[in-house]
Structure 1
Amino acid sequence: MPQTAPVSHQVALAFHDWRPLRHVEDPLHKDLSAVARAGDSLFVACDETASVERLSRQPDGSYGAHAHFALDAFFDLPEGDGGEMDIEGLCANGGYLWIVGSHSLKRAKPKGEDDGKSAEALERMERIEREPNRFFLGRIPLIEERPGLFTPVARGGERRPASARCGQKRGALERWLRRDAHLAPFLDIPSKENGFDVEGLAVRGDRVWLGLRGPVLRGHAVVIEMTLKVTSKGRLKARRIDGRRYRKHLLDTRGLGIRDMRLDGEDLLLLVGPTMSIEGPAYVLRWRGAARQDVAGVVDPDRIREVAELPYRLHADHPEGLELWPEAGPDALLVIYDAPAPERVDPERFTVQADVICTETRRSGGLLHRRTR
């Protein structure tokens, strides 16, 4: 059986009071969905907002001095700052902070089923909602104000914010995938029902990888790879690769969806966990040589290795994001959680503890990738 990855230590993430923020029902520190690091700056996102939050490294190794950046200051969002973006991926690369929304639909939650209103609850669940801000993919220039402190700006020299088209009815990624034999049928299915749901983001230069929580196809998770350019109108647009605007890679994850990704040299680390609204374990996998992959298709299982099983807790500590953490060792990762366990949280100081875990890159396999007859 695989061994649970040891937690090296924890890193405190301290936020300002979240209550003045509009449209936010839960404290930011209890609802983190993505993380990215640039120098001594840690960027995180809450999936209820249309913003990113920056925390700065403090002398004791914690992260604080919270700064809030509303994304409608950089982009013309279809629903402005009042529309939830469901940000699920962040990546700092090449002087930019990259951001991706889930690109997913959602089904209305049932309410009233326990108080004699089961019919109303059933009717409510007929509603499938499309929130246009969720269909976002873009980047913002970062400038280094002082050593290690990076700030998103509307202009950094010749660099400016750019995004793929994100409209009220259909976004760019939706248009590019509408004829895809594997993915098109899932574009109209809500997330957490094995519908289309972007949750992982990795970037190197003009190459972008999007990891899908759903759909999972016959036990295989999907990674979409694109090479992006900026048009004369300042839009991000995918170049054609082999006649399409993307490559599609299928990885045998034994039915688990991708929750986050990060490039590590030529390899791609994938945080994987349950696709549907169920409780279950999470793992970190290593796709060896992903950055050298130049053809679409099903990835050879021998190139996928389990490097960590994350601690599992029922109804708490759902792993949502990971980032390389080299100061703790060459194989160390920072992991942030949604629904953090009570002992992680200091509600008076708006603080939550993230884990630094030690992975084992030389493992030859594990529970996920033992060959079966």
Structure 2
Amino acid sequence: MSDPGHANVLDQVALTFSDWRPLRHVEDPLQKDLSAVARAGDCLFLACDETASVERLRRLEDGTFGDHRHYVLDEFVSLPGGAEGEMDIEGLCAEGGFLWIVGSHSLKRCKPKRDESDAGDALKNMEDIEREPNRYFLGRIPLVEEAPGLFMPARQDGERNAAWVKFGKKRSSLARWLAGDPHLGPFLNIPSKENGFDVEGLAVQGDRVWLGLRGPVLRGHAVILDLDIKEKVPGRLKARHVDGERRYRKHLLDTRGLGIRDMRLDGDDLLLLVGPTMSLEGPAFVLRWRDALHDSSSGVIDPGRIETVAELPYQLHADHPEGIDLWPEGGAGALLVIYDAPAPERTDPDTFTVRADVIRPPGRSDHGIVSRIVAASGLQV
């Protein structure tokens, strides 16, 4: 796999939100907790992993994005945890007139309380594992073009309906399909960030949906699920059988222990944002899985088909890359990158503004992903 080195930051795009403080159950400003991004015309749709909503920004005359609209998803779909239940949205994709949305489908272990004076009580608190029912969402919402390039979500637009895969308060259809999987089944009851099951990437073309897993990582291989999903009845999506008795294809890619953080189709290729699986600091890369659209069966992908596009700028305790999308304004190969825990220098708390990066991959060299990851982590081999 080739390794062209660090990405070139061509530009920054200012994203300005409304005052977040009136929102219920939001502990941090929206611009500090961004987890997913999708471009549709002159609009950016973004998600904050604390809410059950999507945020729309539109391009303004000066090239920045603002005029923030907050859409509570319970108005468009039936959420088992209601509008106040956290969805932990980790993937967005605008495709075919729909906004596709996926939650993490993950469990969450309680943290020890910072003010806990008794070590035993803190340890006891960490026994609790929470299951948020809204996290198990996978579905799509119609996008209606209000004006040229300006889109808004709707529950229904003519014959197009909001539709989602069946899920409930304890188990989703996806979890049921994976329960007997020899690779993934054992990880369904392990919390996220402990190498448990955790969906963080989403890419869509027509009825074909790819889900990238932050975890589990299996012997250094990240996992991508590949489903053919159709609306069998109005409002209900279901994956058809595509791999024997299974309703999904399963692709394993050698990422040297990094998990999928986001994905985006680029022609026949799939661009992968990869980063640490566990709760730790580490480098992030954009990889290219060449001819991903042509893989019609499960298997381990030939490492020669995985190229390192770029290593992203890395800071300790800040600027964690969470989402990517194609950015044609930046020229061939340019990508928009959004960050969780943005560094102070890219935010303006008074105006609720954060700046995303527009990057362009540098020229290729003949080094592989192994050397880059080892060098960035300081490991000895």
Give me the TM-score of the superposition, normalised by structure 1: 0.97
Q: What is the CA deviation profile of residues 170-213 of structure 1, one whole-angstrom value per residue up to 9, with x for unaligned ones?
A: 00100000000000000000000000000000000000000000
1:28 aligns with 2:30: yes
CA distance in 2 between counterparts of 1:60 and 1:182 reads: 49
AA paired with 1:251? L
Distance 2:116 2:233 in 1: 56
Q: Deviations over 1:41-76 (max 9, x none)?
A: 000000000000000001111100000110000111
Question: Where does residue 236 of structure 1 map in the other structure?
Answer: 237
Structure 1: how far apart are the matches of 2:294 and 2:60? 37
Letter in 2 for 1:219: G
Residue type of the alignment partner of 2:127: E
Shift of 1:292: 1.0
Task: Name 1:308's counterpart in structure 2.
Answer: 310
Stretch moving more, 360-369 or 284-293? 360-369
Aligned to 2:179: 178
Instruction: Answer yes or no: is 1:158 the counterpart of 2:162.
Output: no
SS of residue paired to 1:82: coil
Q: Deviations over 1:304-329 (max 9, x none)?
A: 00010000100000000000001101
Matches within 5 A, 1:111-190: 111-112=113-114, 116-190=117-191
Q: 1:86 to 1:250 in 2, by over 3 A?
A: same
Structure 2: state its 5+ residue gaps: 375-380
Instruction: Work out whether residues 307 and 363 of structure 1, in 8 Å CA contact, stay in contact via their aligned partners in 2.
Output: no
AA matched with 1:37: R
The one-letter code of the counterpart of 1:236 is L
Amino acid at match of 1:121: A
Q: Aligned-residue CA RMSD in angstroms? A: 1.6
Separation in structure 2 between the aligned mates of residue 356 and residue 49 of structure 1, nearest angstrom:
26
Aligned residues of 1:71 and 1:81 also touching (Cα < 8 A): yes
2:98 to 71, 96, 99: 96
Cα distance in 2 between the residues matched to 1:271 and 1:33: 12
User: For residues 240 and 369 of structure 1, do their structure 2 counterparts lie closer, same or farther at Cα, with a shift above 3 Å needed?
Assistant: farther
Q: Is the 8 A contact 2:77 2:155 kept in 1?
A: no
**Whole-angstrom CA distance in 2 between matches of 1:293 and 1:2:** 25
- 1:276-291 equivalences in 2 (<5 Å): 276-291=278-293
Distance 2:133 2:358 in 1: 35
Partner of 1:7: 9
Q: How far apart, in 2, do the equivalents of 1:62 and 1:138 lie? A: 29
Are the aligned partners of 1:305 and 1:364 in contact in 2 as well (CA < 8 Å)?
A: no
SS at match of 2:71: strand
State whether residues 4 and 361 of structure 2, in contact with CA within 8 Å, keep that contact through their aligned partners in structure 1: no
Aligned to 1:329: 331
Supply the distance in 2 between the matched residues of 1:188 and 1:20 (Cα, whole angstroms): 35
State the structure with bigger RCO (CA 8 A, min sep 6), 1 or 2.
2
Instruction: Indicate conservation of the 8 Å contact 1:192/1:276, yes or no.
Output: yes
Amino acid at match of 1:295: S
- Deviation larger for 360-369 or 179-188: 360-369
Report the secondary structure of 1:261's partner residue: strand
Whether the 8 Å contact between 1:274 and 1:280 is mirrored in structure 2 is yes
Determine if contact 1:306/1:363 at 8 Å carries over to the other structure: no
Q: What is the DSSP-based 3-state SS (H/G/I as helix, E as strand, rest coil) of the residue aligned with 1:21?
A: coil
CA displacement, residues 231-274 of structure 1 (integer Å, 9 cap, x when unaligned): 22521100101221000000000000000000000000000000
More moved, 62-71 vs 358-367: 358-367
- Quote the Cα distance in structure 2 between the aligned partners of 1:115 and 1:145: 51
Q: Deviations over 1:275-320 (max 9, x none)?
A: 0000000000000000111111000000000010000100000000
* Aligned-partner SS, 1:134: helix
Question: What do the CA deviations read for 1:55-99 (whole angstroms, capped 9, x no partner)?
Answer: 000111110000011000011100101100000000000000000
**Match of 2:377?**
none
SS in 2 for 1:133: helix
Note if 1:343 corresponds to 2:345.
Answer: yes
Structure 1 CA distance for aligned equivalents of residues 341 and 325 of structure 2:
19
Change (3 A) 1:239 1:134: same
Local SS of the residue matching 2:359:
strand
Distance apart, 1:161 and its partner CA: 0.1
Is 1:74 matched up with 2:51?
no
Aligned partners of 1:49 and 1:85 also within 8 Å: yes
Q: Which amino acid aligns with 1:305?
A: E
Aligned twin of 1:264 = 266
Mean Cα deviation higher: 227-236 or 92-101:
227-236
DSSP-derived class of the 1:327 partner:
helix
Match of 1:292 in 2: 294
Q: Is the 8 A contact 1:254 1:368 kept in 2?
A: yes
Q: Distance in 1 between matches of 2:371 and 2:95?
A: 31
Task: Give the deviation of 1:3 after TM superposition.
Answer: 2.2
Q: Which amino acid aligns with 2:293?
A: A
Match of 1:40 in 2: 42
Instruction: State the distance in 2 between where 1:242 and 1:303 align.
Output: 22
Given that 2:4 and 2:365 are in contact with CA atoms closer than 8 Å, whether structure 1 keeps it comes out as no
Between the aligned partners of 2:29 and 2:324, the Cα distance in structure 1 is 20
* Alpha-carbon distance in structure 2 between the residues aligned to 1:156 and 1:361: 44
Against the structure 1 CA distance between its residues 95 and 296, is the aligned structure 2 distance closer, same or farther, given a 3 Å change threshold? Answer: same
Please, what TM-score do these two structures have when normalized by structure 2? 0.95
Q: Percent identity?
A: 70
Q: Distance in 2 between matches of 1:74 and 1:118?
A: 44
